[in-house]
Structure 1
Protein backbone atom coordinates (compact mmCIF):
# COMPACT_ATOMS: atom_id res chain seq x y z
CA UNK A 1 0.00 0.00 0.00
CA UNK A 2 2.73 2.57 0.81
CA UNK A 3 4.41 1.83 -2.51
CA UNK A 4 1.11 2.43 -4.28
CA UNK A 5 0.65 5.79 -2.60
CA UNK A 6 4.21 6.79 -3.53
CA UNK A 7 3.54 5.83 -7.15
CA UNK A 8 0.33 7.88 -7.24
CA UNK A 9 2.12 10.88 -5.70
CA UNK A 10 4.88 10.56 -8.31
CA UNK A 11 2.34 10.46 -11.14
CA UNK A 12 0.59 13.56 -9.79
CA UNK A 13 3.89 15.45 -9.52
CA UNK A 14 4.78 14.45 -13.08
CA UNK A 15 1.36 15.56 -14.34
CA UNK A 16 1.62 18.85 -12.48
CA UNK A 17 5.07 19.44 -13.99
CA UNK A 18 3.79 18.80 -17.51
CA UNK A 19 0.85 21.15 -16.94
CA UNK A 20 3.16 23.91 -15.70
CA UNK A 21 5.44 23.51 -18.73
CA UNK A 22 2.43 23.59 -21.04
CA UNK A 23 1.16 26.74 -19.34
CA UNK A 24 4.60 28.36 -19.70
CA UNK A 25 4.69 27.50 -23.42
CA UNK A 26 1.20 28.94 -23.90
CA UNK A 27 2.24 32.18 -22.21
CA UNK A 28 5.31 32.40 -24.45
CA UNK A 29 3.16 31.79 -27.53
CA UNK A 30 0.65 34.46 -26.52
CA UNK A 31 3.45 36.94 -25.86
CA UNK A 32 5.01 36.23 -29.26
CA UNK A 33 1.63 36.54 -30.97
CA UNK A 34 0.97 39.92 -29.35
CA UNK A 35 4.40 41.16 -30.44
CA UNK A 36 3.86 39.93 -34.01
CA UNK A 37 0.44 41.58 -34.24
CA UNK A 38 1.93 44.83 -32.95
CA UNK A 39 4.59 44.70 -35.69
CA UNK A 40 1.95 43.98 -38.37
CA UNK A 41 -0.15 46.89 -37.10
CA UNK A 42 2.86 49.21 -37.22
CA UNK A 43 3.72 48.05 -40.75
CA UNK A 44 0.15 48.63 -41.94
CA UNK A 45 -0.07 52.10 -40.39
CA UNK A 46 3.27 53.34 -41.71
CA UNK A 47 2.68 51.83 -45.14
CA UNK A 48 -0.68 53.63 -45.36
CA UNK A 49 0.93 56.91 -44.30
CA UNK A 50 3.59 56.76 -47.01
CA UNK A 51 1.52 55.23 -49.85
CA UNK A 52 0.68 57.45 -52.82
CA UNK A 53 -2.24 55.37 -54.09
CA UNK A 54 -4.16 52.18 -53.36
CA UNK A 55 -2.04 50.05 -55.69
CA UNK A 56 1.16 51.27 -54.02
CA UNK A 57 -0.34 50.56 -50.60
CA UNK A 58 -1.36 47.01 -51.53
CA UNK A 59 1.99 46.14 -53.15
CA UNK A 60 4.19 47.43 -50.33
CA UNK A 61 1.98 46.06 -47.57
CA UNK A 62 2.00 42.62 -49.16
CA UNK A 63 5.78 42.73 -49.56
CA UNK A 64 6.42 43.78 -45.98
CA UNK A 65 4.09 41.24 -44.42
CA UNK A 66 5.67 38.58 -46.65
CA UNK A 67 9.13 39.62 -45.43
CA UNK A 68 7.96 39.38 -41.82
CA UNK A 69 6.53 35.91 -42.46
CA UNK A 70 9.83 34.74 -44.00
CA UNK A 71 11.76 35.99 -40.98
CA UNK A 72 9.39 34.23 -38.58
CA UNK A 73 9.75 30.99 -40.55
CA UNK A 74 13.55 31.28 -40.48
CA UNK A 75 13.61 31.90 -36.72
CA UNK A 76 11.34 28.94 -35.92
CA UNK A 77 13.14 26.60 -38.32
CA UNK A 78 15.89 26.09 -35.72
CA UNK A 79 14.35 26.96 -32.33
CA UNK A 80 16.91 28.34 -29.92
CA UNK A 81 19.52 28.95 -32.62
CA UNK A 82 17.97 31.81 -34.56
CA UNK A 83 17.99 32.70 -38.24
CA UNK A 84 21.06 32.59 -40.48
CA UNK A 85 21.90 36.07 -41.84
CA UNK A 86 23.03 34.73 -45.21
CA UNK A 87 19.81 32.74 -45.43
CA UNK A 88 17.67 35.82 -44.70
CA UNK A 89 19.36 37.73 -47.51
CA UNK A 90 19.08 34.82 -49.95
CA UNK A 91 15.39 34.29 -49.21
CA UNK A 92 14.64 37.99 -49.63
CA UNK A 93 16.44 38.06 -52.99
CA UNK A 94 14.60 34.90 -54.03
CA UNK A 95 11.23 36.42 -53.09
CA UNK A 96 12.11 39.50 -55.17
CA UNK A 97 13.26 37.35 -58.14
CA UNK A 98 16.84 38.59 -57.89
CA UNK A 99 19.81 36.27 -58.22
CA UNK A 100 23.45 36.73 -57.31
CA UNK A 101 25.56 37.59 -60.33
CA UNK A 102 28.35 39.93 -61.33
CA UNK A 103 25.91 42.75 -60.48
CA UNK A 104 25.20 41.46 -56.98
CA UNK A 105 27.77 40.13 -54.54
CA UNK A 106 26.92 38.90 -51.03
CA UNK A 107 29.61 37.72 -48.62
CA UNK A 108 30.24 37.47 -44.90
CA UNK A 109 30.99 35.01 -42.09
CA UNK A 110 28.28 32.73 -40.62
CA UNK A 111 26.10 34.73 -38.25
CA UNK A 112 22.82 33.89 -36.51
CA UNK A 113 20.15 36.38 -35.49
CA UNK A 114 17.73 35.76 -32.66
CA UNK A 115 14.33 37.27 -31.90
CA UNK A 116 14.16 41.01 -32.50
CA UNK A 117 17.53 41.06 -34.25
CA UNK A 118 16.25 38.75 -37.00
CA UNK A 119 12.96 40.61 -37.29
CA UNK A 120 14.40 44.13 -37.41
CA UNK A 121 17.32 43.34 -39.70
CA UNK A 122 15.16 41.13 -41.94
CA UNK A 123 12.68 43.98 -42.51
CA UNK A 124 15.56 46.38 -43.15
CA UNK A 125 17.01 44.05 -45.79
CA UNK A 126 13.59 43.83 -47.44
CA UNK A 127 13.42 47.64 -47.65
CA UNK A 128 16.92 47.85 -49.13
CA UNK A 129 16.12 45.24 -51.79
CA UNK A 130 12.80 46.91 -52.62
CA UNK A 131 14.39 50.35 -52.93
CA UNK A 132 17.15 48.97 -55.18
CA UNK A 133 14.53 47.40 -57.46
CA UNK A 134 12.30 50.46 -57.65
CA UNK A 135 14.81 53.31 -57.64
CA UNK A 136 18.38 52.12 -57.19
CA UNK A 137 21.01 49.81 -58.63
CA UNK A 138 18.67 46.99 -59.65
CA UNK A 139 16.45 49.51 -61.47
CA UNK A 140 19.35 50.47 -63.77
CA UNK A 141 20.90 48.00 -66.21
CA UNK A 142 24.45 48.94 -65.19
CA UNK A 143 23.84 49.06 -61.44
CA UNK A 144 25.78 46.91 -58.97
CA UNK A 145 25.31 45.99 -55.33
CA UNK A 146 27.77 44.70 -52.76
CA UNK A 147 26.46 43.32 -49.47
CA UNK A 148 29.06 42.42 -46.85
CA UNK A 149 29.37 42.03 -43.13
CA UNK A 150 32.03 41.31 -40.54
CA UNK A 151 32.05 40.55 -36.83
CA UNK A 152 34.27 42.11 -34.20
CA UNK A 153 33.71 39.81 -31.22
CA UNK A 154 36.58 41.14 -29.13
CA UNK A 155 35.64 42.42 -25.70
CA UNK A 156 32.20 42.91 -24.17
CA UNK A 157 31.17 45.43 -26.84
CA UNK A 158 31.42 43.14 -29.88
CA UNK A 159 29.61 44.34 -32.99
CA UNK A 160 28.30 43.25 -36.35
CA UNK A 161 29.24 45.64 -39.17
CA UNK A 162 26.78 45.27 -42.07
CA UNK A 163 27.30 47.20 -45.30
CA UNK A 164 24.88 47.62 -48.22
CA UNK A 165 26.51 49.54 -51.06
CA UNK A 166 24.94 50.41 -54.43
CA UNK A 167 26.63 51.78 -57.54
CA UNK A 168 23.82 52.85 -59.81
CA UNK A 169 25.40 55.48 -62.01
CA UNK A 170 22.71 57.93 -60.97
CA UNK A 171 22.46 60.64 -58.37
CA UNK A 172 20.02 59.40 -55.74
CA UNK A 173 18.65 62.04 -53.43
CA UNK A 174 16.99 61.46 -50.07
CA UNK A 175 13.24 61.85 -50.37
CA UNK A 176 10.55 61.93 -47.69
CA UNK A 177 11.17 59.40 -44.96
CA UNK A 178 8.86 56.49 -45.72
CA UNK A 179 8.62 53.16 -43.92
CA UNK A 180 11.94 51.91 -45.34
CA UNK A 181 14.03 54.84 -44.12
CA UNK A 182 12.22 54.86 -40.79
CA UNK A 183 13.00 51.15 -40.39
CA UNK A 184 16.67 51.81 -41.06
CA UNK A 185 17.15 55.02 -39.08
CA UNK A 186 14.71 54.52 -36.23
CA UNK A 187 13.64 50.88 -36.05
CA UNK A 188 17.16 49.46 -35.90
CA UNK A 189 18.29 52.13 -33.45
CA UNK A 190 15.32 51.54 -31.15
CA UNK A 191 15.11 47.75 -31.42
CA UNK A 192 18.81 46.85 -31.57
CA UNK A 193 20.71 49.96 -30.35
CA UNK A 194 22.33 50.08 -33.79
CA UNK A 195 24.40 52.88 -35.24
CA UNK A 196 23.05 53.67 -38.72
CA UNK A 197 24.66 55.79 -41.42
CA UNK A 198 23.01 56.26 -44.84
CA UNK A 199 25.19 58.08 -47.35
CA UNK A 200 23.63 59.35 -50.60
CA UNK A 201 26.54 59.63 -53.02
CA UNK A 202 26.87 60.89 -56.55
CA UNK A 203 27.01 57.33 -57.92
CA UNK A 204 24.78 55.45 -55.48
CA UNK A 205 23.98 54.74 -51.85
CA UNK A 206 25.92 53.24 -48.97
CA UNK A 207 24.26 52.06 -45.77
CA UNK A 208 26.44 51.12 -42.78
CA UNK A 209 24.99 49.35 -39.76
CA UNK A 210 26.91 48.73 -36.55
CA UNK A 211 24.87 46.45 -34.28
CA UNK A 212 26.00 45.20 -30.85
CA UNK A 213 26.19 41.42 -30.58
CA UNK A 214 24.30 41.67 -27.29
CA UNK A 215 21.16 42.54 -29.30
CA UNK A 216 20.84 38.87 -30.26
CA UNK A 217 23.62 38.33 -32.81
CA UNK A 218 25.67 35.15 -32.56
CA UNK A 219 28.73 34.35 -34.69
CA UNK A 220 28.30 30.74 -35.78
CA UNK A 221 31.07 28.78 -37.48
CA UNK A 222 28.66 25.85 -37.89
CA UNK A 223 26.06 27.85 -39.84
CA UNK A 224 27.79 27.61 -43.21
CA UNK A 225 25.86 25.42 -45.58
CA UNK A 226 22.46 26.07 -43.96
CA UNK A 227 22.09 29.32 -45.90
CA UNK A 228 21.36 27.32 -49.03
CA UNK A 229 18.20 25.76 -47.62
CA UNK A 230 16.01 28.24 -49.49
CA UNK A 231 17.23 26.76 -52.77
CA UNK A 232 18.63 28.53 -55.82
CA UNK A 233 17.57 32.12 -56.36
CA UNK A 234 15.30 33.03 -59.22
CA UNK A 235 16.19 34.96 -62.36
CA UNK A 236 16.75 38.68 -62.13
CA UNK A 237 13.73 40.84 -62.72
Structure 2
Protein backbone atom coordinates (compact mmCIF):
# COMPACT_ATOMS: atom_id res chain seq x y z
CA UNK A 1 0.00 0.00 0.00
CA UNK A 2 1.28 3.46 -0.90
CA UNK A 3 0.58 6.33 1.48
CA UNK A 4 1.28 10.07 1.28
CA UNK A 5 1.66 11.97 4.52
CA UNK A 6 2.85 15.38 5.75
CA UNK A 7 5.49 14.80 8.40
CA UNK A 8 6.30 17.53 10.87
CA UNK A 9 10.03 17.79 10.20
CA UNK A 10 10.54 16.39 6.68
CA UNK A 11 7.39 17.54 4.90
CA UNK A 12 5.23 15.52 2.52
CA UNK A 13 6.59 12.06 1.80
CA UNK A 14 5.39 9.02 -0.12
CA UNK A 15 5.74 5.79 1.84
CA UNK A 16 5.40 2.25 0.50
CA UNK A 17 4.06 -0.10 3.17
CA UNK A 18 4.30 -3.89 2.92
CA UNK A 19 2.78 -6.13 5.59
CA UNK A 20 2.40 -9.84 6.21
CA UNK A 21 1.16 -11.96 9.07
CA UNK A 22 3.74 -14.07 10.81
CA UNK A 23 2.95 -17.78 10.66
CA UNK A 24 1.13 -19.15 13.72
CA UNK A 25 1.39 -15.79 15.52
CA UNK A 26 -1.06 -12.96 15.99
CA UNK A 27 1.56 -10.53 14.77
CA UNK A 28 2.09 -8.58 11.55
CA UNK A 29 5.49 -7.69 10.11
CA UNK A 30 5.54 -4.24 8.47
CA UNK A 31 8.20 -2.91 6.09
CA UNK A 32 8.03 0.84 5.33
CA UNK A 33 10.11 2.38 2.56
CA UNK A 34 10.38 6.04 1.55
CA UNK A 35 9.79 6.16 -2.23
CA UNK A 36 9.34 9.94 -2.56
CA UNK A 37 12.48 10.47 -4.65
CA UNK A 38 11.77 7.40 -6.77
CA UNK A 39 8.27 8.63 -7.62
CA UNK A 40 9.63 12.11 -8.41
CA UNK A 41 12.16 10.63 -10.84
CA UNK A 42 9.50 8.45 -12.45
CA UNK A 43 7.25 11.47 -12.99
CA UNK A 44 10.14 13.48 -14.41
CA UNK A 45 10.99 10.64 -16.78
CA UNK A 46 7.38 10.44 -17.98
CA UNK A 47 7.41 14.19 -18.64
CA UNK A 48 10.64 13.97 -20.63
CA UNK A 49 9.36 11.03 -22.67
CA UNK A 50 6.20 13.02 -23.45
CA UNK A 51 8.28 16.01 -24.54
CA UNK A 52 10.45 13.75 -26.69
CA UNK A 53 7.40 12.25 -28.41
CA UNK A 54 6.05 15.74 -29.06
CA UNK A 55 9.37 16.91 -30.48
CA UNK A 56 9.71 13.83 -32.71
CA UNK A 57 6.18 14.34 -34.02
CA UNK A 58 6.94 17.99 -34.82
CA UNK A 59 10.21 17.07 -36.55
CA UNK A 60 8.54 14.41 -38.70
CA UNK A 61 5.78 16.87 -39.64
CA UNK A 62 8.39 19.43 -40.65
CA UNK A 63 10.38 16.88 -42.66
CA UNK A 64 7.20 15.82 -44.47
CA UNK A 65 6.50 19.46 -45.36
CA UNK A 66 10.11 19.90 -46.51
CA UNK A 67 9.86 16.90 -48.82
CA UNK A 68 6.55 17.93 -50.36
CA UNK A 69 7.37 21.59 -50.92
CA UNK A 70 10.96 21.00 -52.08
CA UNK A 71 9.79 18.35 -54.53
CA UNK A 72 7.10 20.66 -55.87
CA UNK A 73 9.57 23.50 -56.48
CA UNK A 74 12.38 21.35 -57.94
CA UNK A 75 12.91 21.05 -61.68
CA UNK A 76 14.80 17.77 -61.46
CA UNK A 77 15.66 14.98 -59.03
CA UNK A 78 19.21 16.35 -58.70
CA UNK A 79 17.88 19.79 -57.79
CA UNK A 80 15.53 18.25 -55.25
CA UNK A 81 18.38 16.26 -53.71
CA UNK A 82 20.62 19.30 -53.26
CA UNK A 83 17.86 21.52 -51.85
CA UNK A 84 16.46 18.87 -49.52
CA UNK A 85 19.89 17.89 -48.19
CA UNK A 86 20.65 21.53 -47.44
CA UNK A 87 17.35 22.11 -45.61
CA UNK A 88 17.62 18.86 -43.71
CA UNK A 89 21.10 19.92 -42.57
CA UNK A 90 19.65 23.18 -41.26
CA UNK A 91 17.02 21.23 -39.33
CA UNK A 92 19.70 18.98 -37.82
CA UNK A 93 21.74 21.98 -36.66
CA UNK A 94 18.66 23.49 -35.04
CA UNK A 95 17.77 20.26 -33.25
CA UNK A 96 21.32 20.09 -31.92
CA UNK A 97 20.90 23.59 -30.48
CA UNK A 98 17.60 22.60 -28.85
CA UNK A 99 19.10 19.47 -27.28
CA UNK A 100 21.93 21.48 -25.75
CA UNK A 101 19.78 24.45 -24.73
CA UNK A 102 18.64 24.87 -21.12
CA UNK A 103 14.84 24.87 -20.76
CA UNK A 104 14.36 24.60 -24.53
CA UNK A 105 15.17 28.25 -25.35
CA UNK A 106 17.95 29.32 -27.74
CA UNK A 107 19.58 32.73 -28.15
CA UNK A 108 18.68 34.23 -31.52
CA UNK A 109 22.26 35.27 -32.30
CA UNK A 110 23.41 31.67 -31.84
CA UNK A 111 20.96 30.48 -34.51
CA UNK A 112 22.13 33.17 -36.92
CA UNK A 113 25.81 32.59 -36.26
CA UNK A 114 25.57 28.80 -36.68
CA UNK A 115 23.68 28.96 -39.98
CA UNK A 116 25.85 31.68 -41.52
CA UNK A 117 29.06 29.91 -40.57
CA UNK A 118 27.71 26.65 -42.02
CA UNK A 119 27.61 28.40 -45.41
CA UNK A 120 31.06 29.92 -45.27
CA UNK A 121 30.21 33.06 -43.32
CA UNK A 122 32.94 34.75 -41.26
CA UNK A 123 31.76 36.99 -38.46
CA UNK A 124 33.50 40.32 -38.73
CA UNK A 125 34.38 39.42 -42.32
CA UNK A 126 31.44 38.88 -44.66
CA UNK A 127 28.74 39.14 -42.01
CA UNK A 128 28.07 41.12 -38.87
CA UNK A 129 25.55 40.68 -36.02
CA UNK A 130 24.31 43.57 -33.93
CA UNK A 131 21.53 43.26 -31.36
CA UNK A 132 20.62 42.38 -27.77
CA UNK A 133 20.34 38.85 -26.39
CA UNK A 134 16.94 37.31 -27.18
CA UNK A 135 15.96 33.84 -25.93
CA UNK A 136 13.58 32.34 -28.47
CA UNK A 137 11.15 29.74 -27.06
CA UNK A 138 11.30 26.20 -28.39
CA UNK A 139 8.26 26.51 -30.66
CA UNK A 140 9.79 29.56 -32.37
CA UNK A 141 13.36 28.26 -32.77
CA UNK A 142 12.73 25.88 -35.69
CA UNK A 143 10.66 28.42 -37.65
CA UNK A 144 13.22 31.20 -37.20
CA UNK A 145 16.13 28.86 -38.03
CA UNK A 146 14.51 27.67 -41.27
CA UNK A 147 13.84 31.28 -42.26
CA UNK A 148 17.49 32.16 -41.63
CA UNK A 149 18.53 29.14 -43.68
CA UNK A 150 16.50 30.35 -46.66
CA UNK A 151 17.95 33.85 -46.37
CA UNK A 152 21.47 32.43 -46.16
CA UNK A 153 21.13 30.04 -49.10
CA UNK A 154 19.63 32.86 -51.16
CA UNK A 155 22.66 34.99 -50.28
CA UNK A 156 24.90 32.13 -51.48
CA UNK A 157 23.05 31.79 -54.79
CA UNK A 158 22.12 35.38 -55.63
CA UNK A 159 23.52 37.82 -53.09
CA UNK A 160 26.26 38.71 -50.66
CA UNK A 161 27.88 35.30 -50.34
CA UNK A 162 28.04 34.92 -54.13
CA UNK A 163 30.77 37.57 -54.44
CA UNK A 164 34.03 38.22 -52.60
CA UNK A 165 33.02 41.81 -51.83
CA UNK A 166 29.57 40.92 -50.50
CA UNK A 167 28.58 41.46 -46.91
CA UNK A 168 25.51 40.74 -44.76
CA UNK A 169 24.58 43.18 -42.02
CA UNK A 170 22.07 41.80 -39.52
CA UNK A 171 20.59 44.02 -36.83
CA UNK A 172 17.70 43.72 -34.44
CA UNK A 173 16.20 45.83 -31.69
CA UNK A 174 13.48 45.31 -29.08
CA UNK A 175 10.33 47.34 -28.56
CA UNK A 176 7.37 47.01 -26.23
CA UNK A 177 4.48 45.17 -27.87
CA UNK A 178 0.83 44.76 -26.94
CA UNK A 179 -0.23 43.17 -23.66
CA UNK A 180 3.29 43.12 -22.26
CA UNK A 181 4.81 41.22 -25.20
CA UNK A 182 8.26 42.05 -26.59
CA UNK A 183 8.45 43.02 -30.25
CA UNK A 184 11.59 42.13 -32.23
CA UNK A 185 12.52 44.43 -35.12
CA UNK A 186 14.74 42.29 -37.37
CA UNK A 187 16.69 43.53 -40.42
CA UNK A 188 18.83 41.50 -42.82
CA UNK A 189 20.72 43.75 -45.28
CA UNK A 190 22.99 42.47 -48.02
CA UNK A 191 25.58 44.77 -49.59
CA UNK A 192 26.50 43.43 -53.04
CA UNK A 193 25.45 43.31 -56.69
CA UNK A 194 22.40 41.04 -57.10
CA UNK A 195 23.71 38.16 -59.19
CA UNK A 196 20.34 36.76 -60.25
CA UNK A 197 16.90 38.18 -59.53
CA UNK A 198 14.60 35.26 -58.58
CA UNK A 199 12.01 34.85 -61.32
CA UNK A 200 9.27 33.27 -59.21
CA UNK A 201 8.05 32.81 -55.71
CA UNK A 202 9.38 29.48 -54.50
CA UNK A 203 9.62 27.45 -51.33
CA UNK A 204 12.13 29.83 -49.74
CA UNK A 205 9.70 32.74 -49.96
CA UNK A 206 6.92 30.53 -48.56
CA UNK A 207 9.13 29.58 -45.61
CA UNK A 208 9.86 33.23 -44.82
CA UNK A 209 6.21 34.19 -44.97
CA UNK A 210 5.07 31.19 -42.93
CA UNK A 211 7.77 31.69 -40.30
CA UNK A 212 7.24 35.38 -39.62
CA UNK A 213 3.55 35.85 -40.38
CA UNK A 214 2.11 32.64 -38.99
CA UNK A 215 4.43 30.85 -36.55
CA UNK A 216 5.98 34.01 -35.08
CA UNK A 217 2.78 36.08 -35.42
CA UNK A 218 4.49 38.97 -37.17
CA UNK A 219 5.09 40.50 -40.58
CA UNK A 220 7.91 40.57 -43.12
CA UNK A 221 9.00 42.45 -46.22
CA UNK A 222 11.61 41.83 -48.91
CA UNK A 223 13.05 44.78 -50.85
CA UNK A 224 15.57 44.66 -53.69
CA UNK A 225 18.00 47.60 -53.85
CA UNK A 226 20.63 48.34 -56.54
CA UNK A 227 23.33 47.37 -54.04
CA UNK A 228 21.67 44.24 -52.58
CA UNK A 229 18.59 42.77 -50.94
CA UNK A 230 16.97 43.85 -47.69
CA UNK A 231 14.67 41.65 -45.61
CA UNK A 232 12.92 43.10 -42.58
CA UNK A 233 10.53 41.49 -40.13
CA UNK A 234 8.66 42.19 -36.93
CA UNK A 235 7.58 39.45 -34.53
CA UNK A 236 6.77 38.87 -30.89
CA UNK A 237 8.68 36.78 -28.35
TM range (shorter): 0.7 to 0.9
For residues 27 and 78 of structure 1, the distance between their equivalents in structure 2, rounded to whole angstroms, comes to: 18
Distance 1:8 1:39 in 2: 52
Q: Which has the higher contact order (CA 8 A, sep 6+)?
A: 1
Contact conserved, 2:126 with 2:168, CA < 8 A, in 1?
Answer: yes
Shift of 1:33: 0.7
Residues 69-123 of structure 1: CA distance to partner in whole angstroms, max 9, x if unpaired?
1111112212215112222112112211221345422221122212121111111
Q: Which residue of 2 aligns with 1:165?
A: 189
Does residue 176 in structure 1 map to residue 206 in structure 2? no
SS of 1:97's partner is coil
The structure with more radius of gyration: 2
Q: 1:122 aligns with which of 142, 145, 148?
A: 145
Could you tell me how far apart the structure 2 residues matched to 1:149 and 1:100 are? Answer: 16
Partner of 1:39: 62
> Given the alignment, which residue of 208, 227, 236 partners 2:232?
208
Q: How many residue pairs align between the two structures?
A: 211
Alignment pair present for 1:93 and 2:112: no
Q: Which structure has greater strand proportion?
A: 2
Q: Compared with structure 1, are the counterparts of its residues 9 and 138 closer, same or farther at alpha carbon in structure 2 (3 Å cutoff)?
A: same
Partners of 2:182 and 2:38 in 1: CA distance: 44
Of 9-18 and 160-169, deviating more is 9-18
CA 1:198/1:8 → structure 2, altered by over 3 Å: closer, same or farther? farther
1:73 aligns with 2:96: yes
**Uncovered stretches (5+) of structure 1, i.e. residues with no partner:** 214-237
Give the distance between the partners of 1:4 and 1:68, measured in 2 at CA. Answer: 46
1:10-68 Cα distance to aligned partner (Å, 9 max, x none): 53555444333322221221111101110111111111111122222111111111111
Write the mapping of 1:1-237 to structure 2, written as runs, cut at 5 A. 5=17, 11-12=34-35, 14-80=37-103, 82-153=105-176, 156-170=180-194, 173-213=197-237
Cα 1:8/1:134, change in 2 over 3 Å: farther
TM-score by length of 1: 0.79
Please say which of residues 78-87 and 110-119 is displaced more in the overlay.
Answer: 78-87
Question: Any idea what the Cα deviations from partners look like across 1:183-217, whole Å, max 9, x if unmatched?
Answer: 1112321111021111122332111111112xxxx
Counterpart contact for 2:16–2:35, Cα < 8 Å = no
CA contact (8 A) 1:85 1:110 kept: yes
Distance in 1 separating the partners of 2:176 and 2:159? 33
RMSD of aligned Cα (Å): 2.5
Higher helix share: 1
Distance 1:52 1:109 in 2: 41
In structure 2, distance between residues paired with 1:196 and 1:8: 66
